[in-house]
Amino acid sequence: MAETYPVTLVNSVNPYRLEGQKTAAFEVVDSLGNAGNITAYWMGFCQYREQNRCDRLPRMMGFQAAGSAPLVKGEIVTHPETIATAIRIGNPANWQRAIAVKEASQGAFNAVTDEEILKAYCLLAIEPTEQTVAKVMGF
């Protein structure tokens, strides 16, 4: 396939494989946005648990910018305001599923302020998007 199409074969002998795979960890900690990631990851964890591939399920945590935190506030944010444009979502598409994930995992949703996002941004100056620092401040 790599000989025919403009793709790179990333198998266990390719030194860049680990660099690509490590990003899965970033996704686990990602900000809520439309709540799709937290929902999808929970589905995967549950499937593995059902297949006895793991012996316990994680506690799922989600972070939103304070000016755009409908899941934290429990209500639609009609005019979301935050510097974190990637997570400026006032009515997430996967709202109900994300709530179910939080409850089933005994998890939590928390908000971080734009000031906290900027502070974390300075700490993580090499990270290209402000939405990533929102989750760092959540911890």
Q: What is the pLDDT of residue 108?
A: 94
What does the pLDDT look like over 46-97, one tens digit per residue? 999 999 998 999 999 988 999 999 999 999 999 999 998 888 999 998 899 9
In the predicted structure, residue 127 carries a pLDDT above the cut 60 = no
Kindly indicate whether the domain formed by 31-138 is annotated with CATH number 3.10.290.20.
no
Q: What is the Rg, in whole angstroms, of the alpha carbon atoms belonging to the chain?
A: 17
User: What residues form DSSP beta bridges with 110?
Assistant: 63
Which tops the pLDDT comparison, 3 or 34? Answer: 3
Can you read off the two tokens belonging to residue 78?
């009609």
Sorted by where each begins, the domain ranges of the chain are 31-138
In order of 22, 125, 135, the CA distances from 27 in angstroms are: 9, 19, 11
Q: What is the pLDDT of residue 28?
A: 59
- Strand segments, DSSP code E, in 15-71 are 61-65
Q: What percent of the chain has pLDDT over 90?
A: 43
**Number of other CB atoms surrounding residue 137 within 10 Å:** 21
Give helix then strand counts, H and E, for the chain.
7, 2
Q: Are 116 and 67 in contact (CB under 8 A)?
A: no
- Strand segments, DSSP code E, in 5-134 are 61-65, 108-112
Mean pLDDT of the residues in the chain: 82
Q: Are 115 and 15 in contact (CB under 8 A)?
A: no
Q: What is the pLDDT of residue 86?
A: 84
